[in-house]
Amino acid sequence: MAALLEVRDLRAGFDTDAGYVEVLDGVSFELSSGETLGLVGESGCGKSVSALSIMNLLPQPAGKITAGSIGFQNRDLVALPREELHDVRGNRISMIFQEPMTALNPVHRIGNQIIEAVKLHQPDLTTTIARQRALAMLERVGIPAPDQRLNEYPHQLSGGMRQRVMIAMALTMQPDLLIADEPTTALDVTIQAQILDLLREMQRESGMAILFITHDLGVIAELCDRVTVMYAGCVVEQANVTELFSTPRHPYTQGLLRSIPRLDATPKQPLTTIPGAVPALIDMPEGCRFRNRCLNAEDDCELRSPDLVHTAEHEFACHHPVTEETI
Amino acid sequence: MKESLLQVRGLKKYFPVRGGVFLRRIGNVQAVEDVSFSIERGKTLGLVGESGCGKSTVGQTIMKLHAPTAGEIFYEGRDIAAMNRAELKAFRRDVQIIFQDPFESLNARHTVSRILEEPFVIHEMGTAAERRRWAGDLLTRVGLQVDALDRFPHEFSGGQRQRIGIARAIALKPKLVVCDEAVSALDVSIQSQVINLLMDLQREMNLALIFIAHDLAVVKHVSDDIAVMYLGKIVEQANAQEIYKFPRHPYTEALLSAIPIPDPSRRGERIILSGDVPSPIHPPSGCRFHTRCPHAADQCRSSEPAEEFVKEGHRVACHFWKKLADTKAFG
């Protein structure tokens, strides 16, 4: 089956006072209908910039896409004219963010914000019908007393409820793709469990694809079908979720998995760490960007940056991948 | 019995809610309600719970950053509310805190050397040259280069800044350090480095740590004992392994099960609690957890459960813990 979303060799970056800084260094991934792809990596690895590029929401005028394509339903979103993009955004692709308080307008009632979104995409609907839609959506995302909530302001809701409102708003147009950028990071774990459950249920009902961006490998394991691991603006590894967690091939993925404190591990033992820190964007090392922190690094890692190697179940970009024996 | 380093008894902290034209007190945020625990030298107590459960307030009250509404805090056997100037100065030297956000807790206009020398200046220790040498030693101790002394906080990454925060906290060789979400803002690969550093320092200096965090996996990894808080109260308290293997309070159980495990083969083993944490201004009657508890009965709505001993060192506040444990054992 053809992919719903196909990001190819995407390069993007920002103009800064210090000159142009490239954030994405040729990122590729794809996503099919009904599938959940996890985009995981640490701060500054470019996962959010990838998402914003798909929506053409990079901060203007500093942000720009310099190369690559974003195929979505037989259209290239990078080259799409504004009017057509407007049809895709919100209608076909929706997005939810980490902090629903900043994504919702604090001076408008919840109901009016959802109604506005509905009418923006279907201008011929009457307010009454749009309101009914909003009500039905709030009910579907599990908000108690939805007719009362419609008249409330964002600050009157808890963080979990606000995220439910965002999800309701994102799903009113029944998008084919939902981009979720760290949607549960600001929430407590018991609320996070509720939201993940809700997303799963919504996906089962509608068959939409989800691009789930997070730094939390636990959430990835919980929700995603496939995983793309990013490091310093590059995709370093890609596989289905079971495969990635059981046999990571890139030393970075392996390091990440080992650094997490686990509930079932012996307490007070030193944790495995990845030495050093992510290099600065303006000062990227030549060759493999992970080599300064990598235990497998050799001379050739400095000479040439590794390409993505495809095996049957796996893609990884490494000259000296983790082998079966060292997992 | 050996004297605990720190003992907290019946601690309460209310913050006033003001309203009306004259800003009269119209209610209270019951941030901490009747909390008791103790901590031994060189040990770690983990304090976990969701936002608004009062865990940070407990930490700040121990630091004497807030005056408690009721209850007592004993440090080395002395009530900290009754300390004289000299005792208080010693207390301030012995008890230190590390905050979550190293961007906000370090003065952006001061060089690292000034930040690290300040504790010595306040406590009138050493000459200028000695203080600078000590500051350099501290940096080395937390894994940074001595040449960082003349740089400013903004020149460092989040993880490095947190190391500077740790260096400042251990400058005066404290006996107790409160870590308030000290690693929560860090990326996993950096988080594990900082956790290891804290555990090393603890071993070397025989430090007691109060580790406040919402991430149960992290807390469990560093703690000897864990206290779980919900809406201002400790609902369960036990040894870290024990509480993880045999949680007795339904809230502890749900909290543990809500943590996403980085293992896709263990999906869906979740207890999903419904609803939100109620407001601490109007906490529910009886057991504060009854509005979200899957096992709540009439008794839970009317009467507040007292803390009971499951066994030595394991306390739980739930009317039905025994019944639930039996059901689990035989069900």
d(C-alpha B218, C-alpha A86), whole Å: 44
Residue boundaries of the structural domains of chain B: 6-109+152-330
Put simply, the chain A residues between 179 and 208 with a CB less than 8 A from any chain B CB are: 188-194, 196-197
d(C-alpha A27, C-alpha A50), whole Å: 8
Tokens of A158: 């808890």
Q: Residue B330 — pLDDT band, cuts 50, 70, 90?
A: low
**Strand boundaries in B147-231, DSSP class E:** 176-180, 208-213, 225-230
Angle CA(B39)–CA(B40)–CA(B45) in degrees, nearest 5? 45
Q: Give chain A's domains with CATH numbers.
A: 5-92+175-326 (3.40.50.300), 101-174 (no CATH)
DSSP assignment of A170-218, as one string? HHTT--SEEEEESTTTTS-HHHHHHHHHHHHHHHHHH--EEEEEES-HH
Q: Residue B69 — pLDDT band, cuts 50, 70, 90?
A: very high
Mutate to test the interface with B, among A156, A188, A247 (most CBs of B within 10 A): A188
Q: Is A292 exposed, middle or buried (0-12, 13-18, 19+ CB in 10 A)?
A: middle
Does A268 contact B277 at a Cβ distance shorter than 8 Å? no
Is some CB atom of chain B closer than 8 A to the CB atom of A125?
no
Nearest to B192 among A192, A267, A271 (CB): A271
CB atoms within 10 A of CB A14: 16
Does B188 contact A265 at a Cβ distance shorter than 8 Å? no
**Predicted local confidence at residue B2, as pLDDT:** 64
Is some CB atom of chain A closer than 8 A to the CB atom of B103?
no
Put simply, the chain B residues between 173 and 202 with a CB less than 8 A from any chain A CB are: 187-193, 195-196, 199-200
Instruction: Quick: pLDDT tens for B201-214.
Output: 999 999 999 999 98
With beta carbons less than 8 A apart as the criterion, state whether B298 and B229 touch. Answer: no
Does B258 contact A42 at a Cβ distance shorter than 8 Å? no
d(C-alpha A199, C-alpha A141), whole Å: 9
With beta carbons less than 8 A apart as the criterion, state whether A113 and A105 touch. Answer: yes
Residue-by-residue pLDDT tens, chain A, 327 positions: 578 999 999 999 999 888 899 999 999 999 999 999 999 998 889 999 999 999 988 988 899 999 999 999 989 999 999 888 888 988 899 999 887 777 889 999 999 999 998 888 888 889 999 999 899 989 888 888 898 999 999 998 888 889 899 999 998 888 999 999 999 888 888 889 999 999 999 999 999 999 999 999 999 999 999 999 999 999 999 999 999 999 999 999 999 999 998 888 888 889 989 988 888 888 888 899 999 999 899 999 999 999 999 888 899 999 999 986 655
Does B192 contact A188 at a Cβ distance shorter than 8 Å? no
Tokens of B214: 């919402």
Does B263 contact A216 at a Cβ distance shorter than 8 Å? no
Q: Residue B20 — pLDDT band, cuts 50, 70, 90?
A: confident
With beta carbons less than 8 A apart as the criterion, state whether A91 and A117 touch. Answer: no
Nearest to A190 among B189, B220, B258 (CB): B258
The fold for domain B6-109+152-330 equals: Rossmann fold (3.40.50)
Is some CB atom of chain B closer than 8 A to the CB atom of A160?
yes
Q: Give the count of Cβ contacts less than 8 A between chain A and B.
A: 132
With beta carbons less than 8 A apart as the criterion, state whether A317 and A235 touch. Answer: yes
Does B159 contact A277 at a Cβ distance shorter than 8 Å? yes
Put simply, the chain B residues between 259 and 288 with a CB less than 8 A from any chain A CB are: 259-267, 270, 272-274, 276-277
A303 CA: distance to closest CA in chain B (Å): 26
d(C-alpha A203, C-alpha A195), whole Å: 12
Nearest to B255 among A189, A222, A271 (CB): A189
B80 CA: distance to closest CA in chain A (Å): 30
Nearest to B272 among A194, A219, A262 (CB): A194
Question: What is the model's pTM?
Answer: 0.89
Does A274 contact B241 at a Cβ distance shorter than 8 Å? no
Closest residue in chain A to residue B197, using alpha carbons only: A270
Mutate to test the interface with B, among A200, A216, A256, A271 (most CBs of B within 10 A): A271
